[in-house]
Every structure is written in structure tokens, then in C-alpha cells.
Amino acid sequence: MIYKMPSLGADMESGILAEWKVKEGDRLKKGDVIADIETSKGIIEAEIYEDGTVEKIVGKEGTEYPVGTPLAVVRTEKDDDETIRKELAEVEAAAGGEAPKEEGAAETVFPSSEKEEQTASAPKSAAEEIFGAIAETKDEAVQEVGRIRATPLARKRARELGIDLKELAKRVRGKISARDVEEVARQLFKPGAAKPDAMRMAIAAAMSRSNAEIPHYYLSTPIDMTSALSWLRDLNAKRSIKDRILPAALMIRAVVEALKEVPELNGFWKEGPVPSEAIHPGIAIARREGGLITPAMIDAHKMNLDETMQALSDLITRTRGGKLTSSQMTEQTVTITNLGDLGVEKVFGVIYPPQVALIGFGRIMERPWAVGDAIAVRKVVEASIAGDHRATDGRTGALFLAKLDKILQNPEELL
């Protein structure tokens, strides 16, 4: 099997091979991480989807390759010697073609030693003063003469923002990270002065495509969450802090159960509706440096409530730590977004192609609510759906919201 530069999103055209996690001769099992791939959305852990042995590696770390470029040969059980011989010839031929752009090779980023010596005695610039401030928070800096240790993402961001890595390397302990570069950029540039973020551009491309290709319909309904939140409060009162369940996990679990009953909304549009048997909801999570990522909660249909909470915590940690896997980046079958923490009452989202639906939740608010013949104050959330009108119609969306409401009135069944 030829391992190629994976596509980690519909908008991805190329990626940087940040680091191999294996070496030739290593045995791999399905799901093992074979490499770290840098994309506009950060560093992604690329997994292998078959058991096998690494036969040959030709991709170079720190190099940018178009999607589909052969990077390695992995011998699987179905590969015979003749197949491997042909695949080796193919990847070696690809490696001998036109050299791809190697990250960190730009001369403007790395001044010559002579230039460095000249600038070393010059008065401190404003940037140097800021670098000095960073050093105070990182104890004594380690300087490596003639070599800069920086992640590929840090090199890319430094070029985009015009940050001199050579200067930064004098003040940062160990390998320079993208966070180090971003920290300097935030201090150097006034708000709004920075160059467009690569991730913002990727989101812009995907959302433009969505609005151009997908005829959306929107529905929303208020759901009484009083009983569900009361039940959750009683459940959490019996648990340690680390084992407690957040309302967000309860809602995700309820959405997954509702999708089992209305499967038309879980899947894709590929010249026709293609429902997915597995449910991998993409959960919208804000990055610390800005922008949203919707990593997939893989096999959410097989989880109970505790497992859903654990998976949600893991996704948040991985997203904000830049350690998502390739399957988490590519296998979303539907998207769930919740902007309630920002005070939003209703969410009418844009579907991420080729998915066919997006489910939104707003803020849980206290509202007057009819209970029998009386008016009571209840805790209510506005649930919404954006549907692809090519794949489903409003009746399907309405049926889903009704199922969701019914499930949330019986939260004990979600355990």
C-alpha cells in the first residue's frame, strides 16, 4: 500500500510532513499514528487504516506536498512481493520528480551568520525588547549557533507574520513553537494589522462553497430542559468533580440518539444522498488563537453518556493542544454547534459540505412556560437545524427536532 499525503478536509490542497512517527521496519496496526501533518488548521496526527509494516519512507520531514503525493510504502497482508516492487518503484519515481517546497528554506527568514553578527551589536529594536520579555517567562534561553529548532508550523507562521526566527531562537528554550511566534506577533502588531490567518481563509473557502452549492432550510424549536438539568444536577451531586457530566455532553448524546431515528440527516450529498451508518458528529470547538474546528467524535453511536463526556473532553484537549488525528478531522457525518456560552439565543449555521445537516443550540434561558393550566418559569434551550434541501425537506428536520425534544424529556435513558 502506498501511503500518500492525506486529504484532511475538503478545502485542503497540500500539507507539510511535520514528523514521521515511524521508521522503516516498524509494524503498524490500524489506527496507529504514522505521521504528524501540518495543515492550515494545525498539526494533525495522521493514522494508518490497515495493519502493515513500513517498507520504505521517501517523504521528507518539513516538506510541503500536494494531497495524494506518495510518501511511503506500507506492506499489508494483501500485498505480495510483486506489488511491493511496483509500489517502491512508483514512490521512488515520485520522490525523484520536481522537488517540493521545503519548509524553512526561505532565505529572508534566516539571515546569514555574517548578517547576524552585524545585527548582534546593534541597539535593541522594539521586537528584541519584546523577545526579552518572553524570555523572562521562560527562564534562561538556549541559543543554538547556526541552527534554528522550530516546528514546521512555527516556521510557516513566522513567514506569514514577518517574525525573525533567528532572533526568537535566542530567547526561547528548546524548539520554537507556533505559540511562541503567535505570542510575539500579538505584541508586535496592533489589532487588525496582522496578515489574514490561513485558517480563516480555509473557513472562508468552505463556507463560500456551502452557500453556493447547498440550498439550506432552517427550523428551530424551544425545548424545556428543566427536568434534564435537574436530573443531571442530582446525578453530578453523587459524583467526584472529574466524573461529572456537562449539559453539552447530554445534548450531544441526545442528538446522536435522535439521529438514529432520523438517519437521513446523518451523512453526505455526493451526486445524491448517502446516509452514514456510523454517527461521527463534528463538535464545533473554538481555538485559543481564534477560529473554529469541528473534530469528529468517532463512533458516538456506540457511546453511553459517560463515554460521550470523556470523548468531548478529549476533543477539546486535542483541539486546543493541536493534537487531533486524521480520522477526527475527516470523518464528520454531521455538525453540532453550541454558542450558548456567548449569550446567543438561536443558531442558524452553515452546513459543512458534503454533510447534509448542522444542529445548533443556543443559551439555556429561563422563560415563562405553560405547564398544564398554569404558567411556570422553566429552563429552555432553542434547538435548531440547518438542512440540505437536496437531501431532505422540512418535514424530516421537524421530525428530528420532535425526537430530540422527546429524548431530552427522559434524560435517564441516555446513561
Look at residues 214, 328, 203, 224 and name the one whose alpha carbon lies nearest to residue 270: 214
Report d(CA 294, CA 206) in Å as an integer. 13
User: Burial code of 301-314, b = ≥16 C-beta within 10 A, e = fewer?
Assistant: bebebeebbebbee
- What per-residue confidence (pLDDT) applies to 138? 38
Distances (CA, A) of 229 to 12, 91, 238, 243, 382: 40, 56, 15, 16, 15
Specify the DSSP class assigned to residue 224. Answer: E
- Per-residue pLDDT tens, the chain, 415 aa: give them: 899 998 887 667 788 888 899 999 999 998 899 998 887 677 788 998 889 999 999 988 878 888 888 999 999 988 888 888 888 888 888 776 544 444 443 322 223 333 333 334 444 433 344 333 333 333 333 334 346 777 767 777 777 776 777 777 766 767 777 777 777 776 665 555 455 566 676 677 777 788 888 999 999 999 999 999 999 999 999 999 889 999 999 999 999 999 999 999 999 999 899 999 999 999 998 876 667 788 999 999 999 999 999 999 999 988 887 788 888 888 999 999 988 777 889 999 899 999 999 999 999 999 999 988 899 999 999 999 999 999 999 999 999 999 999 999 999 988 8
Specify the DSSP class assigned to residue 196. Answer: P
Q: How many CB atoms lie within 10 A of CB 251?
A: 26
Inter-residue contact 129 to 19 (CB < 8 Å): no
Whole-structure pTM over 0.85, yes or no? Answer: no
- What per-residue confidence (pLDDT) applies to 386? 96
Look at residues 135, 140, 128 and name the one whose alpha carbon lies nearest to residue 180: 135
**With 0-12 CB in 10 A as exposed, 13-18 as middle and 19+ as buried, what is 88?**
middle
CA 153 to chain centre: 15
Inter-residue contact 103 to 139 (CB < 8 Å): no
- What per-residue confidence (pLDDT) applies to 407? 96
Torsion 104-106-111-112 (CA) sign: positive
Residue 380's contacts (CB-CB under 8 Å, 6 or more residues apart) are 222, 223, 224, 225, 226, 364, 365, 366, 367, 369
- What per-residue confidence (pLDDT) applies to 254? 97
Inter-residue contact 70 to 91 (CB < 8 Å): yes
Kindly report whether the peptide bond that precedes residue 281 is cis, defined as omega within 30 degrees of 0: no
- What per-residue confidence (pLDDT) applies to 123? 41
User: In this structure, are strands 52-57 and 70-75 parallel, antiparallel, or unpaired?
Assistant: antiparallel
Specify the DSSP class assigned to residue 325. Answer: E
User: In this structure, are strands 374-388 and 357-361 parallel, antiparallel, or unpaired?
Assistant: antiparallel
